[in-house]
Amino acid sequence: MNLNSPVTYIKGVSVARAELLYSELGVKTCRDLLHLFPFRYVDKTQFYTINQLQQNSSEVQIVGKITGIKTVKQKRGSRLVAIFSDSTGTMELVWFKGAKWIKDNLKVNVPYVIYGKLNWYGGKASMPHPEMETVQAYKSKLQMAMQPVYPSTEKLSNKGITNKVVRGMMMNLFQQFFSTIEESLPQYLIDKHELIAKKESLLNIHFPKSQELLAKAQYRLKFEELFFIQLQLLQKKLIRKSKLKGFVFGEVGEKFTEFYSNHLPFSLTNAQKRVLKEIRKDVGSGAHMNRLLQGDVGSGKTIVALLTMLLSIDNGYQATIMAPTEILAIQHYNGIAQLLENTSIKVDLLTGSTKTKKRREIHAGLEEGSLHILIGTHAILEDKVQFNNLGIAIIDEQHRFGVEQRSRLWKKGRQVEGEELVPPHILVMTATPIPRTLAMSVYGDLDVSVIDELPPGRKEIKTVHRYDSHRLGVFKFLKDEIEKGRQVYVVYPLIQESEAMDYKDLMDGYESIAREFPSPKYQISIVHGQMKPADKDYEMDRFVKGETQIMVATTVIEVGVNVPNASVMVIESAERFGLSQLHQLRGRVGRGAEQSFCILLSSYKLSSDGKTRLKTMVDTSDGFKIAEVDLKLRGPGNIMGTQQSGVLNLKIADVVKDSPILHVARKTAIETINDDPALAKPENDRLNKIISQLRKKTGIWSNIS
């Protein structure tokens, strides 16, 4: 009998209860129950006298006697009222349910300990449905200063598995299994970080003896959880670097040099140069590159990607870029084809709508090696698409691709008969800045590069927040900008649950704009999700060519429209958008040399989160600062879709609130791996054991790339 035994081994847990605990809370074994941590605590360390009571919402504990009991008639039924006194005053205890049973069990003039929330009426305190027990019974029990409150569900409560019942199960668990709890961290780490022992931390997380011991227990368990995640990620990175071979791009050849010297349209920023250096070091090392490239909209990631692909071509390999949507793939293709116009490099585009004849040409060019760069969508992953010698795969906005799709790209590498597969180097690009804390937790096994400066000549976009009542002033401003020859976006929110409502909002908006900007003086494009792709492309194309001055759209333009002449982005009902969406939309303007503007229009009814989001957008254009605020508002589960990937299924730590602990855990994991990469030293036996168990139990650290 050990902690891996089913929960039915615990006194008081029947088979029916065990099934409920599993279906509602995922608790199957004694170990699972031990790691069902309380989310708050009821502090019963302090006793109050009646004259000390304050009008606040906290729960209080008082010792006194019942001096009288009465039943009071009400409109419906009656309530039971007891007069409760101590040496400083009197108050009322009130029951609205179960009055008869309670009345029969109350003892007058016997000392009681009562606990509960206060109601105040006319300056007098009363306590409805108090928890109470006689002082004698209170003294005879194992006293917990602070009582844990556990996660629960409606079903558990309905079946009588209350917090009190779970607490009882937990007490029995400790009595039966306390001696079997093993230490999981090496002694040198416990000493170095002044951590309390594993047994002590678990006992004090469930039944804290004091606030101080609770804090120590929480720190110890959070540190351990984050430390083991970092250890696994770093080990994975180490295996990739030491065991996974990668193609060596040893030389910087003529194609790279020729393009860099004669065709680069502008000088690289220092940030772009730094990132290129990091990539060159990776691809020249003989190990497999798996790098995440972060950079705000317009920071010049595409040029870095292109130069990396030229390195690949110079060394005899092909390259590919995969984008999540056809619009984005076409944009990459147009941009790159234009840059390579006067060179000998062959580039092509493959998407779902590529015609059969063209597909055959592309397949043939890839297989014989005459096609150097293929840009496309998921279509690249089809089995028919066979490269002659794929050296690097670049994935844009990678959080939109599933693990299975990414692994299919990996298999496009070269396999010489009898030898193992050599996967292409992987460069993952994202314009959705990932906060450092999240990058460390989710992408801890990737190397991260950041382009943190915009190209020279780019002006910062001026962002303002206006209420609906200022709409006429906004329209006048748009007319002035159009007069100067500029173009304007007006974007409406899209909330999938209610497409009809969104469509109505969009059409109402379109009509009011059409009234304010009549033709033939003004021309308007409209784009939304319910249009046929051909109609959508036609409307977008008119705007790109400058035939229309205003583009009214839903968020379909969030990625992939590049119109340098568009200088104003108006976001309607801005409070209905998330921060990262607002940031992405703002990035659609500011692509030319002119001053650009982003106008956030909202109603007066704003939630506090809504106010924070709009204020953040006005205050900063730094994508990383915005991402940090977004992470605080939304929590890690919703950003990057980590909930589906299960990477951050944390029991006690929180990567946002506990980021200082995360930094310590990461640093400690790095030191540990540097000192003992295989965790083979005797003092690391415990770590090795836990890591092996985690590998068996979770498939969550399967290749992120």
* Inside any domain, residue 559: yes
Residue 117, SS3 per DSSP:
strand
How many Cβ atoms are within 10 Å of 149's Cβ, its own excluded?
14
pLDDT at 644: 37
Same domain, 271 and 412: yes
* Inside any domain, residue 372: yes
Q: Is 246 in contact with 287 (CB distance < 8 Å)?
A: yes
For 479, residues 6+ apart whose C-beta sits below 8 A from its C-beta are 517
The residue from 114, 143, 172 where one domain ends is: 143
Same domain, 258 and 361: yes
Same domain, 259 and 371: yes
pLDDT at 211: 80
The residue from 620, 643, 669 where one domain ends is: 620
What CATH code is carried by the domain that includes residue 88?
A: 2.40.50.140
Same domain, 277 and 421: yes
Alpha carbon distance 546, 472 (integer Å): 25
What CATH code is carried by the domain that includes residue 616?
A: 3.40.50.300
* Inside any domain, residue 692: no
For 274, residues 6+ apart whose C-beta sits below 8 A from its C-beta are 449
Asked if residue 324 has a cis previous peptide bond (ω within 30° of 0), the answer is: no
Local mean pLDDT, 10-residue blocks, the chain (705 residues) = 91 92 94 93 85 79 94 87 95 90 92 91 89 87 75 90 92 93 96 96 91 92 94 85 84 92 90 95 90 84 95 96 87 92 94 93 95 95 92 80 69 67 88 73 77 79 93 95 94 64 72 91 87 84 92 69 86 88 86 89 90 94 83 63 50 83 93 93 94 69 38
pLDDT at 654: 81
* Inside any domain, residue 199: no
Same domain, 584 and 535: yes
Same domain, 353 and 495: no
Residue 647, SS3 per DSSP:
coil
Same domain, 34 and 63: no
- Cα 516 to Cα 356, 478, 479, 550, 568, distances in angstroms: 46, 11, 10, 12, 17
Same domain, 138 and 155: no
* Inside any domain, residue 666: no
pLDDT at 555: 66
The total domain count for the chain is 4
Q: Which domain holds residue 508?
A: 462-620
Same domain, 127 and 22: no
Same domain, 267 and 351: yes
Alpha carbon distance 585, 554 (integer Å): 11
* Inside any domain, residue 249: no
Same domain, 324 and 351: yes
Nearest CA among 61, 103, 57, 56 for reference residue 86: 61
The residue from 601, 620, 639 where one domain ends is: 620
Alpha carbon distance 459, 456 (integer Å): 8
* Inside any domain, residue 676: no
* Inside any domain, residue 409: yes
Same domain, 392 and 496: no
